[in-house]
Structure 1
Amino acid sequence: MKRKSWLVFGVMVIILAGCGATEGNTKGSEKSANATTTTTTASATAKSTSSKTSTSTEVSETSNDSSSSVTASTTKETESSVAKKQSSTLWDNEKANVLADFMASWGKTMNQSYNRFSPGHNTDLYGLRLPDTVLSGNWTMAVDGQPVSVAWSDDGNGNADYQLVAVYSDAENATRMGEAHVYFFTLQNGVPKVFITQQNQGNPDNYLYFAETQNMELRNGFTNIVKNGQTDTASKTAPTENKITNVKQAYEHLRAKDNYNDDLLYNDMGEGNDEYGHYWQIKIASKEWRAQGGTGTLAQVRVYENGDIRDALELTEMY
């Protein structure tokens, strides 16, 4: 009996031990599963957070790029608008003042003194009040012998053939007939052009004849002012020694060639260019012959920048 009881007890212990091991394994499995679940959840959460952060960063970067793009676009549009406005401004008070400074400097290099004129404030060219006489239509501006329309313009725009933006003359300072110069600074469809007249006689058509100046410094100076609002100050230098740059120097050159003959008179007939270069055409007359009732005209000559003198009609070299 006792042996049987112990056997039964042993079997029961074994069964109970097996049950305990199973329960322990089950609980261990549950713990492992819970741990795995926790790890998976944490990983998913981390990925989700990372994804949200990445998405947020991308959105922020996209927003910044868009903002920068809009700012850059706005800046370009503003710069373009300003540039367009500046390019459309052909003439204004600032450019007019730059021209005034340029003419004061340029006049000195020519041994001339120029004043500024405008509608209502006229120069007197041998009885013609300019620019009003032309602007009113009492006299007609003629270019290369052909009548043209001209109108005063504060901004360089208008419907006339030429828009007159400035007038300069040394007529008030000229001491002899034919020495006065009147310059019309104009724009023809936006193109700068400087015209000169020294006309001292009337005509049946009441034409005031102009020619485009051949003085390159004056032409280039005005062009630079119109296009850039400034002129090249490097060009404002004193005349090169032994180079004739204006009509007064041409007179002195002729006087020297004529041994300073007091009987001779010199009258400026204008300036121009030919195959020999830039010249001043001058009429030579005799005081004695004039006193006898004639015109006293002896010759017309062209005095060139290099000092050469040629007959104006035959272009043969003289002296």
Structure 2
Amino acid sequence: MATILAIESSCDETSAAICKDGKILSNIIATQAVHQKYGGVVPELASRAHQQNIIPVVEDAISSAKIRKKDIDAVAFTRGPGLLGSLLVGTSFSKAFALANNIPLVEVNHMQAHILAHFIDDPKPDFPFLCLTVSGGHTQIVLVRDYFDMEIVGQTTDDAAGEAFDKTAKILDLPYPGGPLIDKYAKEGNPEAFQFPEPQIPGLDFSFSGLKTSILYFIRDRQKEDPNFLQNNIADICASVQHRIITILLGKLKRAAREYGIKDVSIAGGVSANSGLRKSLEEAAVKYGWRVFIPAFQYCTDNAGMIAIAGYHKFLKKDFVGQDIAPLARMSF
């Protein structure tokens, strides 16, 4: 029996969750609208917003779960990777809460937590399985042998897929965050309207920097020919860009599934909320006989629910850390 308070503060969402015996009782997320006018996350503003949000968010999580502070057996927190200032707020709060209540601390790797979000709800994948983790900062194919036995078998050599979405949105003059808007416009467009190149990267690794550059030059050149090109073709552009990013992602995932002989395939991370990626993965499942696992929307983007389930499984192993623990902006598996 274990009740875990989880804290997530790796970027620009302040989140707290309560997990009891492997079941998520609450998952509260406070977003930060302050970044919208800057077109991206400003680290200093993010850390200040975390300081303002963290106590109300934790109180809301405890209240919504209908428990008391004295019922909490441990505090799980995101140690990294992420923005150092943001991580520092969550780490400091978690250490103080644990010290004040004389309960243990559990550190959690943010990217491992995205993968372990698949163990919140049924159905759950069987080990081993492959997980495509796709976010604004990471693009990885991970071979998951057990809860904490994970191997990155492919990753981006430069930019992440989520960054490609966000930078494209900025080129298209869409407001931040632009990734969901590209997904929205793509539903109305023709994915074959414009052709963008697919990087020829060997093995299971990815590259998105060249794709971003080709999109930039494409828009620049077409705008010179027709000043109204963007507004007249926004849906087709979004659909074509999204289609190319998805084909790159799924092409490598298919290769990984074939190489490792694995039929349980999953996606995780913020970009896994993209409807086009979800649909394409489900189509691939039918074609290749995969069992596909996709977390609920609330567990795709940064959230404390995934930190809680990861923390719960670490708690069962008594994998605790001391008060001298420090956040890590870069943190490997």
The question of a shared fold, defined as TM-score above 0.5 by the shorter chain, is answered with no
Please identify which structure carries the higher strand content.
1
| TM-score normalised by L of structure 1 | 0.21
| TM-score normalised by L of structure 2 | 0.21
The structure that has the greater radius of gyration is 1
